[in-house]
Amino acid sequence: MKKHRIIRILSGLAASFAFVGATFGAGTLTPVVSGQKPAEILSHQVQVVINNGFAKTEVIQRFRNNNAEKMEALYSFPLPKSASLSEVTVQHGEELINGEVVERKTADRIYGEEKAKGASAAKAEKNGYEDFTFSIANLAAGEEAQIRFVYYQPLPVDTGVVSYVYPLEEGNTRDAVAENFWLRNSKVSGKTTVQIELRSAWALESVRSPGQNPVASTIDLPNGVAKLEYELKDGLAGDFVFHYQLVELPGRLEVIPYRAPGAKEGTFMMVLTPGIDLKPIERGADYVFVLDVSGSMNGQKIRTLCDGVVQAIGKMQPHDRFRIVTFSSDAAEITRGWVPAEPESVQHWSQKIQQLQAGGGTNLYAGMSTALKRVDADRVTSIVLVTDAVTNVGQITPKSFHDLLKEKDVRVFGFLMGNSANWPLMQTICETSGGFYAGVSNSDDIIGKILQAKSKICYEALHDAKIEINGVKTADLTGQAFKKLYRGQQMVAFGRYLGTGKAEIIFKAKLSGRQETYRCRINFPETDTDNPELERLWAMARIEQIEYLTAIGNVPESEKAQMISDLGVQYQLVTDETSMLVLTDEAFRTHGVKRLNQARVAVEHAAQSARVAAPIRNYRVDVPSPQNNRQPHSQPANNNSMFRNNAPRLGGGAVNWPLLGIALLLAGIAVTRTAFKKEV
């Protein structure tokens, strides 16, 4: 009954984050005061290769200057989480120029000098958590050009499902002054296409892209291979989302290594998929809904949010309790205490919720402070936070949120609305509380998000999960911030290894108050050249770790910039401290810029070509064993099987929800989506 109640509650909330309210898509820009028109986008092609835990996204865009004089063409692109922008090339006629990452101030200076000379030059930079911006100088009147960029990102499995999002919608998170500065063009004159190539070491159950039908496809589910091509009818107006589901698989440990011949250090990506049989939580529960009613929520969004919460509390059981907290420039608990979810109370508060209005700034801290009041230690309390987290009033630093939550026994489940949302702050909030967060795209399967959230909220979790590595010296291990590991959640860690040979992996966690230890022996190879992209992925994970530790006060702010800059230059990543400078070979020589990225890209391209020609490689390192692999910490490992049970997954008979309720929910979402599209 508890599981059914959770899904009903979350289903009621689905409408509240089905429509993030983007006002613009990704596109070309020009300052309003320039008197020029943004560059025309002639075509937009996306090629995605998903290979054993990470994705390579290659974007090729053609555009034209339709102004009567030369212009600086600008292109803005919402920032994918954990994306390592690694390649940028620009083609002007017959001239092809390539990118090298340098310190941001150096890039600005050199780009400005080349632009002033009328030379071919371009630059890519990262703007906080919001977007990447590409600048192409001296595009002549009537001239066409092509920009190509590549980024990598990890793709963890969540309850057997892997999701890829190509973000295009703007999240409506910029202030009005900044937004009104630009004229924006998101229209594509020609085609917008997305090609997906999937190579999985595990067999597939299914693949799909919500709202899209492939124009061509080759799918081999048993062998984990799929090639699909889509044409996006709405161009750059909406995100592209792609999901694939794995067949039922055991809990497992996968380790993907990279070490160049003769290198002193190697890099690895470790993916732990628990197969522990976590039990459902059957006790009564308390829910605090923390709702963003700031000015960016005005119009259809606030109405949809209210409808979603009304549906959510209407699906609770009488012995559940709820509170409603809203925040804009300040916060208010409109329920003024716990309310039992009895029919009369639900009806009364439903009417109150429908009267909510949007306006003002975003004081998220006040909202969270109010939510933490009146928490009952004898009952399980969950905070459901729905926001874009772009806080601009009151306490705004991640450290203040960390200090607020670190001593509280509550779990925050965050739904981050739209692109360009403040995911670093949401990460701090949820990881400090031991909860989780998920980004929600307008183009995604809302039901899928709900089922994944349900699987975490209403089951036991592993507490104080951590990994130890003995036998081979390792360093700079990321992914250790987990306070809890939820059902269906993977632990993904990147690290460096300095030695070679046999090592023991020890995974420790608490389950129902008792310490559990799992062991596995693996081999760190002296040479493995299949996945050189891991170096960039590790460096980006390390940068995010530094940013998080700085946010909560564990790394001095004065040290952060240089640490990030050093990593960005060494591993050729666009960060807040570094930019990609795109010049001719001669200009790089003139300015004394080393061709570090040129050498790195050559290695990556060679490895990618070799992988295409080779069989798909399985990186599982634990071998199944009939013995019970749970062992007290004091006992030696007698096998290297991590877990004996299958990993949790969605579908395939594992979830048996009332189809009528889901059908009604989807129908409601479809109606609201149509109304919202008409409004914008």
Average pLDDT, the chain: 81
Got the DSSP string for 528-574?
Answer: B-S-TTHHHHHHHHHHHHHHHHHHTTSS-HHHHHHHHHHHHHHHT--
- In the prediction, which pLDDT does 454 show? 65
Encoded tokens for 377: 């230690």
491 sits in which H/E element: strand 491-497
Got the DSSP string for 441-477?
Answer: -TTS-HHHHHHHHHHHHTB--EEEEEEEEESS-EE--
Condensed to tens digits (0 to 9), the pLDDT of residues 527-566 reads: 999 999 999 999 999 999 999 888 888 889 889 999 999 9
Q: What average pLDDT score do residues 91-96 get?
A: 86
**pLDDT at position 282 over 80:** no
**pLDDT at position 614 over 60:** yes
Condensed to tens digits (0 to 9), the pLDDT of residues 340-393 reads: 988 899 999 999 888 888 888 889 999 999 999 888 877 778 888 887 667 778
Listed by start position, the domains of the chain span 2-19+287-411+651-679, 27-237+574-611
SS3 of 106-167: HHHHHHHHHHHCCCCCEEEEEECCCEEEEEEEEECCCCEEEEEEEEEEECCEECCEEEEEEC
- In the prediction, which pLDDT does 636 show? 35
Encoded tokens for 82: 């954990």
- In the prediction, which pLDDT does 475 show? 94
- In the prediction, which pLDDT does 623 show? 64
Q: What is the dihedral of CA 174, 175, 179, 181, to 10 degrees?
A: -140
**pLDDT at position 428 over 80:** yes
Determine contact, residues 435/412, Cβ cutoff 8 Å.
yes
- In the prediction, which pLDDT does 4 show? 54
343 sits in which H/E element: helix 343-353
Residue 116 or 287, more confident:
116
Condensed to tens digits (0 to 9), the pLDDT of residues 572-590 reads: 999 999 999 999 999 999 9
- In whole angstroms, what is the distance from residue 401 CA to residue 387 CA? 15
Which of the 8 DSSP states describes residue 621? -
Question: Percentage of residues in the chain with pLDDT exceeding 90?
Answer: 43
**pLDDT at position 116 over 70:** yes
- In the prediction, which pLDDT does 677 show? 35
- In the prediction, which pLDDT does 358 show? 85
- In the prediction, which pLDDT does 121 show? 95
- In the prediction, which pLDDT does 32 show? 46
- In whole angstroms, what is the distance from residue 9 CA to residue 176 CA? 35
589 sits in which H/E element: helix 585-591
Question: Percentage of residues in the chain with pLDDT exceeding 70?
Answer: 79
**pLDDT at position 13 over 60:** no
Residue 436 banded pLDDT, cuts 50, 70, 90: confident
Got the DSSP string for 655-669?
Answer: ----HHHHHHHHHHH
Of 6-10, 77-81, 199-203, minimum mean pLDDT range = 6-10
- In the prediction, which pLDDT does 447 show? 55
Q: What average pLDDT score do residues 13-33 get?
A: 50
**157 beta partners:** 162
**584 beta partners:** none
Of 203-212, 252-261, 315-324, minimum mean pLDDT range = 315-324
Look at residue 22 and give its three-state secondary structure.
Answer: coil
- In the prediction, which pLDDT does 152 show? 95
Other C-beta atoms lying within 10 Å of the C-beta of residue 218? 11
Condensed to tens digits (0 to 9), the pLDDT of residues 624-670 reads: 544 434 333 333 333 444 566 777 666 533 333 222 333 333 333 33
Other C-beta atoms lying within 10 Å of the C-beta of residue 672? 18
CA-based radius of gyration for the chain? 25
Provide the sign of the torsion angle of the four alpha carbons 169, 174, 177, 181, taken in this order: negative
Residue 262 or 672, more confident:
262
- In whole angstroms, what is the distance from residue 402 CA to residue 201 CA? 39
- In the prediction, which pLDDT does 655 show? 33
Residue 280 banded pLDDT, cuts 50, 70, 90: confident
Class of domain 27-237+574-611: mainly beta
CATH architecture of the domain 2-19+287-411+651-679 equals 3-Layer(aba) Sandwich (3.40)
Q: Closest by alpha carbon to 269, among 439, 54, 13, 562?
A: 54
- In the prediction, which pLDDT does 498 show? 96
- In the prediction, which pLDDT does 389 show? 67
